Structure 1
Amino acid sequence: MSTLHVVSHSPFTDSRLDSCLRICGAQDAILLCGDGAYALHTPALPSKGVKVFVLAEDMLARNLPLPDWADSVDYPDFVQLSIDYDKVNTWL
């Protein structure tokens, strides 16, 4: 069963992203939004091999470049991702 993990907190302020990465499976994906977009600057994401999406609006608001291992999505894409994955887990 695939899960879309939504991370909205900076990986530099707490350990939510680390916890998320520990349970991510091969079929899972991570969507970075809000301050979670700062995770684009962590080496843990590309090394895990999990599909990574980032909300374009949040990435642009923080003036972050899009690495080649992540995909930028808009809000309609976010809704579609929520439909495409079996479950959605938000890391509050």
Structure 2
Amino acid sequence: MKPVNQQEVFAAVVSVGSFAHAAQRLGMAEESVREYVRHLERRLGVRLLYEGSEGMYLSAWGTVVYWEPERRRAQAPAARRQVA
């Protein structure tokens, strides 16, 4: 499955917890996955992920970028009811 955009790649990395596992899931090379995330970080002008000896973790901005689409999806039914 090829992702459509950088945010989908970023979400896959966060959901599985590693670039390598995200690459496997997405059917991409690990370096391509890393490049998608780097491009997203450059486009937004913020650092989204950190890697350390304990593993990968989200920056404060990474948390917002990851969870904001989910929050919007959760609010969509109520918004539709208000408009209807």
TM norm structure 1 = 0.30
Bigger RCO of structures 1 and 2 (CA < 8 A, at least 6 apart) = 1
Greater helix share, 1 or 2? 2
Greater strand share, 1 or 2? 1
TM norm structure 2 = 0.31
